[in-house]
Every structure is written in structure tokens, then in C-alpha cells.
Amino acid sequence: MNRLIVKELIEKMNLTLVAGEEGLENQIEGGYVGDLLSFVMAHAREKNVWITIQGHINSVAVASLLGLSAIILSENAGADEEMIKKANEEGIPVLSTSLNSFDVICEFARYNNA
């Protein structure tokens, strides 16, 4: 089965790349939405896309630990400078959209074939 990659998701969902350009070829296998880091650590799975409003360095640490494919910041939640720097170092794409998390999930579900 062909898997969606981050670069394709950006194009299909009209997302903005904020950081982590080296991870654009990361394969996507599902997604997880949540803003409580401990829940994300307990429930998100490797190669998931994480939808959140948490635009700080700890989000990148969680994504790196779990092997997540990308982070989508919903509602134009900004990424602070530390997050951008760490995402670039780790090669974890941080993407941005004006959509709220519910709408991101609905749109993501249209393209995710996991």
C-alpha cells in the first residue's frame, strides 16, 4: 500500500512548513490529536502526525521520542524559536494551519490511508 508522506500532506492540506524540512519524506501512518503531552506520550504511535496547539520545544522532544512523522499546529498556534531550532535539528516537520483541530482531523482523514 502506498503511504502518504509529509510533503504530500502539506500540498493536499495547504499547510505551511514552519521547520524540519529534512523530514518531508517521512511516511505517515495515522494521526493523534491532543494537547496534554503525557497523553500524547501514552497514546500516539510511531509515524503518526500529531495535531496540537503546543508550539514549544517539549513538543519536539515528545515527537522525537515517539518517532512521529510531523507536528501540525492548528489554529495558527505559533512555534517558538526553541521549537523551530530543535525541529530543524531533529528533522521533524512542524506544520501550521488556521484550521481548528477538529477540522484538521476531518481534512487529514480524507488523505490518510492508514
pTM: 0.95
Look at the domain 6-111 and name its fold.
3.40.1390
Each domain of the chain, given as residue ranges in start order, spans 6-111
Q: Which band of pLDDT confidence, cut at 50, 70 and 90, is reported for residue 111? A: confident
pLDDT above 70 covers a percentage of the chain that reads 96
Q: What is the pLDDT of residues 1-40, one digit of tens each?
A: 458 999 999 999 999 999 999 999 999 999 999 999 999 9
Angle at 39 between CA 33 and CA 42, to 5 degrees: 110
Per-residue pLDDT at 1: 45
Dihedral angle computed from the Cα positions of residues 80, 69, 15 and 62, in that order, rounded to the nearest 10 degrees? -30
Average pLDDT estimate for 38-66: 98
